[in-house]
Structure 1
Amino acid sequence: MIGGFLGAGKTTLISQLARRFQAEGKHVCVVTNDQAAGLVDTELLRSQGLEVNEVAGSCFCCNFHGLTGAMEEFESRQRPDVILAEPVGSCTDLIATISLPMMEQMGERFLHSPYAVVLKPSHGLKILSGEGKGGFSQKAEYIFRKQLEESEIILINRIDELTAEQVATLREQLSEQYPGRQIICLSAKTGENLDALWETLAAEASSREATMEVDYDVYADGEAELGWLNATVSVTAAKAISIDQLAQQLVDRLRQAMLRVQAEPAHLKILCSSGSHVAVANLVSSDTPTMLSIASDAEAESLSVIINARVCLDPEALTGMVRDTLDAMASDSGLTIQVDSIESFRPGRPEPTFRVQQ
């Protein structure tokens, strides 16, 4: 299980790890997780040829049987050698609600690797310094910190985007604030230092003499601070257009709309596809640029678009922002844009299926 805050780079890392396992001849399956159906990560990993099941509608901890059912469904077709699981990026307390209950109930079937949490540098540099909240309240920051607290391994990701000084600062802050954790600096995008993580994941998870304390009232309020939006959109052009440019332009337009109302994005991810061609663009904070994480290098006249937005904004306002941005883009560029589905909400209070207390 690879945890971490929204926009930390978990999906890219899981994709890299999956390819490593496949190169060793292992059958790899992935379980993704979201508060609603229509997840970019699921479609992206499937487009890369991976076998993926999605647990939608709640986090793993609140749908333990959904997770185990997704794992058993893989086994009904071909038993996996490795299962990689990606929990919702606003979720914490996963050792007590997932790892330990699964070890108790299904321990004879699975070996658990150490629990790794991916650090998101853009917000981590602000939160760990204590100088700012990264655009979020203290309650949302509480989730960010609890994720780090329950980790066995902390992964400082995106080092290809950081200076050596920033990496050193993060490592020092983490060592001081979360002592005893192994810290690995890597880039999921380039694969830099992935070998160190690979060796660490080969070990078994450590026994937990105590689970961490979690204030579920603060946790629930922190999650509810975010507006959650998933949408699917159809785009038609009079002549072939760049799939990559469409993805980037849509993220850029939404970024500007968020800046105008000072709405901090936890993560905005857009997947544009046409046939086998896929492009993914994303935004991980208000002060970072739009990134084209997956390039298609292709053009098309008809495209499918999936929008996943997790923003510190009222869900109704977020829906209006996305619809207005799509309308403006259609008007400015002469595209025909149709919203096929759109859903927005605030996550409900987490109610774990099981919680082991030690």
Structure 2
Amino acid sequence: MTHKIRFIMVGGFLGAGKTTTMAQLARHYQNQGLNVGIVTNDQAAGLVDTESLRSQGFHVGEVAGACFCCQFDNLIETVRDLSKADRPDILLAEPVGSCTDLVATVVQPIKQLLGAEFEIAPYTVILKPSHGSKILKNEQKGGFSPKAAYILKKQLEEADAILINRIDELTPEQTEDLTSLVKRDYPEVPILQMSAKLGTGIDQLIELLDQQGDFGRRILDIDYDIYAEGEAELGWLNSSANLSSEEPYALDELLLAIVRNLQVRINEAGFEAAHLKTIGLWEGFFGVANLISNDTEPEVSLPSNCEVKEVDLIVNARVACDPVILEAEAKLAVGEECAKRGITSTFRTSQSFRPGRPEPTHRVSKSV
């Protein structure tokens, strides 16, 4: 009998903490002596998350160009490519943060078409407090439109379990308030509280994911017109550049400054940020800085603690605005912060666009 790959997909809105959670889970399973593969997903190539996970030593494949649901065959091919080197015992899959309806378009097709190769773990969805609290309270002023909020709500609706992340950034009262909101709207769904960054609650998540059973059964009643319009509200940017200087500069300080500069520009223009992320890479080291909403502070999430003369920079930004404007503002932010430090910035690639309408390869209407 062929050994089945344990398929663990962790969803959640942009900036929810999926990549950090993936890294925590991958380390745990590796420490158990298991082979782990990770598949990341984005609307375009050049993903900070992919480079970040690879730089941490994980075996990572990337599905780019559309969501897992629209690139289902590519997802399976990527998993099989990972298997050629060393067949995974555990496959961790991180879908695009603006994607939903994944039970009907990914989980159930895997169960029905490839059940001999994969076993399905509980489908968990991470909730980001900064946007989640506003959306569940219907406080849309200054935030995303109801159509974009619709996506986050649908993500929670199809989950086998909801993970409230970043509890280290909340007071106990704020955590309890958010938990009550989730219980109110999704009373039958188990709720876990965690801090993926600190590792708090990861043991409980692993215990949940190790359960055996018939998971991934919550098929949505979903309006694809609203879903598509909600996704299209977001401007998407993936850019890469080379940054070089004759004098060493502190990489982490520069990455944080770029994110903060872009945050100011976005706030002044009245746009809502879903996620901003930068990574600097060069010959064996890397640093990552990110921002998860207008109302939070940027942070260096993975410090390099290095001074460098040259680095390859990747910028990913997901903002509710015209992607042409987003690209221009991002390039200005990079150029301005580099100029302050005598650094030459040379952009190599840049993709800015709005996501197209989701067109799933498969969509089942009834779970098995």
TM-score normalised according to structure 1 size:
0.98
Q: 1:134 to 1:98 in 2, by over 3 A?
A: farther
Residue 287 of structure 1 pairs with residue 260 of structure 2: no
* Equivalent of 1:232 in 227, 230, 240: 240
Aligned partner of 2:146 in structure 1 is: 138
Q: 3-state SS of the aligned residue for 1:72?
A: helix
Aligned partner of 1:42 in structure 2 is: 50
Residue 343 of structure 1 pairs with residue 347 of structure 2: no
Shift in Å, 1:321: 0.8
Distance 1:202 1:293 in 2: 28
AA aligned opposite 2:160: E
Distance 2:226 2:280 in 1: 36
Contact 1:31-1:84 at 8 Å conserved across structures: yes
CA deviation string 1:309-340 (max 9, x = no partner): 00011011111111222232233221101111
Distance 2:38 2:330 in 1: 30
Aligned partner of 2:5 in structure 1 is: none
**343-352 or 329-338, larger mean C-alpha shift:** 329-338
* Equivalent of 1:149 in 143, 147, 157: 157
Shift in Å, 1:302: 0.5
Residue 54 of structure 1 pairs with residue 62 of structure 2: yes
Residue 125 of structure 1 pairs with residue 133 of structure 2: yes
Distance 1:231 1:122 in 2: 26
| 1:97-246 pair list within 5 angstroms | 97-132=105-140, 135-207=143-215, 211-246=219-254
Question: RMSD over aligned Cα, in angstroms?
Answer: 1.1
AA aligned opposite 2:143: G
Contact 2:252-2:288 at 8 Å conserved across structures: yes
Distance 1:327 1:280 in 2: 18
Aligned partner of 1:265 in structure 2 is: 273
Shift in Å, 1:273: 1.9
AA aligned opposite 2:346: Q
Q: 1:334 to 1:208 in 2, by over 3 A?
A: closer
Shift in Å, 1:133: 5.4
Q: 3-state SS of the aligned residue for 1:60?
A: coil
**23-32 or 128-137, larger mean C-alpha shift:** 128-137
Residue 19 of structure 1 pairs with residue 19 of structure 2: no
Distance 1:147 1:43 in 2: 26
AA aligned opposite 1:9: G
Distance 2:334 2:267 in 1: 17
Unaligned runs of 5+ in 2: 1-8
Distance 1:296 1:329 in 2: 18
Distance 1:114 1:168 in 2: 24
Q: 3-state SS of the aligned residue for 1:111?
A: strand
TM-score normalised according to structure 2 size:
0.95
Contact 2:254-2:337 at 8 Å conserved across structures: no
Residue 326 of structure 1 pairs with residue 342 of structure 2: no
Unaligned runs of 5+ in 1: none
Distance 1:338 1:72 in 2: 36
Contact 1:111-1:204 at 8 Å conserved across structures: no
* Equivalent of 1:276 in 272, 284, 295: 284
Alignment length, in residue pairs? 358
Q: 3-state SS of the aligned residue for 1:168?
A: helix
CA deviation string 1:78-132 (max 9, x = no partner): 1110000000000000000000011011101111100000001110111111233
Aligned partner of 1:86 in structure 2 is: 94
Structure 1 moving runs of 4+ over 4 Å: 207-210
Distance 2:173 2:273 in 1: 25
Residue 32 of structure 1 pairs with residue 40 of structure 2: yes
Shift in Å, 1:209: 6.0
